[in-house]
Amino acid sequence: MLLPDHLATHITVDSATLSRKRPIGDAHEADPTRRRRAHRSRLLEVSSGQLTSAAPFLRADSINSVVDTVARTPSDQHDEQALLTLASIVQNHPLFAPLSTDQKDQVCARARGMHCFEGQVIIRQGTVGDCLYMVASGEYSVSFDDSLLHCTVMPTVYSTGQCFGELALLYNSRRGATVTCTKRGLLFALDQASFRRSFVTSQREARHAFLRSTPLFDKLTPMQVSAISSVMEERVYLAGETIVREGDDADALYVIRSGAAVVVQQRDGQTHELSRMGLGACFGESALTHDARRTATVVAMSATKVLRLGRESFRLMCDTPLPQLLDRNLTRHVLKQMDLFRGMGPTELDKLVSTFEPLEFPPGAKIVTQGEEGETFFVIRSGMVRVTRVQDGEEIVVKDNIGVGEYFGEAALLRQEPRHASVQAVTAVVCLALQRSRFMASLGSRLNVLKRQAAQRTWAAEHIKDRRITLADLRVVEMLGVGTFGRVQLVVHVASNTPFAMKCLSKGQVLEYQQVDHVLNEKLILSLCSHPFLPRLACAFQDDSNLYMLQDLALGGELFSILINSHGGLPFETVVFYAGCITSALRYLHDLQIAHRDLKPENVLVDNDGYLKVVDFGLSKILRHGYARTFCGTNEFLAPEMVLHKPYTCAIDWWALGVLIFEMFTVCLPFGADTPVKLYEKIIAAKIKFPPSVPPAGVDIISKLLTPTPTTRLGAIKEGSRDVIEHHMFASLDFVELERKHLTPPFKPVINAPTDSTNFDKDYFDTKPAMAVGHWEECLARRPEARDAFKDF
């Protein structure tokens, strides 16, 4: 983020205590946004092996080496009444509501019994715990050390059927209270590892990975695969059983998960074997596109497991036929790699993609002939081609075996000139083709702009690469903020008189807190982004002690500040404009398989023209496998699947957008509570109370974005992000013109100078100095193997 994140300095507590945070409440009783700046906490990405070194990220003493250590016995060694009480707690506690019956049984089986005696301390305030405790019998009193808590809380007693310590299951935090046994009894303890194992969806993840490995699905996006996987059913056929029968209605596609099958056909009264299929083979694809009859019979040769995708399930989930969906994904992927199209917004790119049409060529056919005037650009959908050129009367093979996803003939889109080489089909080939006439009609006057932007990017890349920037080249204007291990400064590049936001990170602190990968990842993501509503990384450099990133300067202040001053919410047209900017930015990030993971008003800036920029990629992640598991972000914006520690996709950002749109309309949050656990319970339940100030279109889009099941959430189903921009709330917004910045923003900030930062509320900045861990050389003395840790920065 161009401005530092403001981590809350509060003691996080569970259901046994109250927090120093003010309650947020439901929509009708929520604290105004203006009161929440100091109350939001950001959950940084921390693995269990990094707890000690990551303590500073979780703020004052939020991590301690002391953990709950009490002897426990398996739950099945206790009497029937105790087990019934345990089962009742698991059945009725909101934390376990999303679990299936089998998973709840696993929770009960993994819980360990603790026979407690009077005076025994179960958990101690200030220590780190990893267990939830469920009371089968006895009584347990809660007490507080006011010197640690700095607030007054009434004592509580827990008895049969109740539980405490839920927060420890979700993330590592200090206990907010001491719980002592006051009447001998039995507790069941469930540790964090056991809890997470109960939520493990390894079968779903394996199915997801399997589908992405098959040729039919490997061109789909992770969210598309996840959505399709969620509606597939698994079936098992024994050897000799018929999977599909010739002549029957073709109503489903099948993918062989294990085993083998034979394809046979009846001709002249005899059965003829056509082929055999094994792992990963797909059949019945036509069933997804049109009504048809089976043209062959498929019989299991051995015990065979298949995944079945029914036509109706697919149509409910996706309006676009699978072949067209695959074509569009392939074309978008290719165009995004071409420098000419990098300046296009997602909506404009979609419009261009829709103009491609498939062309088929038999083996040996000439697709392009050297010397002929070119009019078409080709993307290979299937098959192989060979590129040749006649030189001095001899035909030379320029490139052989060019296959799926590669392209040729792009020069024909820009100018009329003879082809410089020939392209011939080696096998049967299907290309997705774009005619110059359609290209010009789609882009019109934009072509010159795209050419100019491409030239500017090329020049800038070369110019910055050749320039060795040092701190001596920059003039520091003022400090914008100080975070845990870095600071953000407003600087001016003296030679060009260009202002930037400079993020400075201490190498020693980044290394000591094991955040090297995160910092390198943030720099990588920034370097990948080229979008009007995302920050641009001008350059990155380092010296002996620090890392530096120069980014675009947006001087209009935070969206958060606009909400504070909005007197109860933003007008409908303003919400539509701002939500449109954020939606466009998320579409771009998700196309790159980047999940932002910390979308909130504090991480959205207003640029000098009044458009928004989504910033702060410190928690962002490239989902190379389509999903992630890490629990991170800001409590009030966490999606249910993250709260429940399930694998999640980019769909978590669409949930956060729903929360953000609600906040823009109301200056309140849709979910809130006086403790994190209660907040998580409300997030999981996803019951929203809409005040009258939210218009019907707002209610509809928020409800669809705040759908607790990610595979049915707006943005993650059917047409993906296109479903979001086509929602009727955006009916008046032209996304192409928005991404071109041709619209009039609802608010244009007053900026009196290129370095005028008065739109930022300095009262909210964290001005405490970053934690010191010693000079870089001192860190290297302790860890000499880390000398090359930042060589790729």
> Would you put residue 187 in left (φ > 0), alpha (ψ -120 to 50) or beta?
beta
| Whether 598 is catalytic | yes
Structure-token pair, residue 225 = 């695969």
Beta bridge partners of 488: 481, 503
Alpha-carbon distances of 225 from 33, 228, 629, 653, rounded to whole Å: 37, 5, 17, 17
Beta bridge partners of 622: 594
Tell me if 343 sits within 8 A of 454, measured CB to CB.
Answer: yes
Alpha-carbon distances of 202 from 207, 291, 330, 379, 712, rounded to whole Å: 8, 35, 29, 36, 20
Q: How many residues make up the chain in this entry? A: 793
DSSP symbol at 769: P
Number of neighbouring beta carbons within 10 Å of residue 386: 15
Alpha-carbon distances of 529 from 452, 594, 614, rounded to whole Å: 18, 10, 11
Tell me if 428 sits within 8 A of 362, measured CB to CB.
Answer: yes
Structure-token pair, residue 580 = 């449109």
Neighbour order of strands in the sheet with 156-158: 121-123, 178-183, 139-143, 156-158
Beta bridge partners of 468: none
Interaxial angle between packed helices 446-466 and 436-443, expressed in degrees from 0 to 180 and rounded to the nearest 10: 90
Instruction: Say whether 394 sits in a helix, a strand or coil.
Output: strand
Task: Choose the catalytic residue: 327, 350, 598, 653.
Answer: 598
Neighbour order of strands in the sheet with 297-300: 242-244, 297-300, 261-267, 270-277
> What is the C-alpha to C-alpha distance for residues 545 and 774, in angstroms, rounded to an integer?
10
Report the chain's terminal Cα–Cα distance, integer Å: 18
Would you say 503 is a known binding-site residue?
yes
Amino acid identity for residue 25 in this structure: G
Structure-token pair, residue 212 = 């992405």
Task: Kindly give the residue spans of alpha helices, DSSP state H, lying in 295-345.
Answer: 311-317, 322-337
> What is the C-alpha to C-alpha distance for residues 406 and 763, in angstroms, rounded to an integer?
53
List, as one string, the DSSP characters of 210-249: HHHHSTTTTTS-HHHHHHHHHT-EEEEE-TT-EEE-TTSB
Give the chain's radius of gyration (CA, Å): 30
Structure-token pair, residue 287 = 């069933």
Structure-token pair, residue 414 = 């820009």
Amino acid identity for residue 176 in this structure: G
Closest residue by Cα to residue 298 from 316, 285, 284: 284
Catalytic positions, written as ranges: 598
Known binding residues are 503
Annotated binding site for ATP: 503
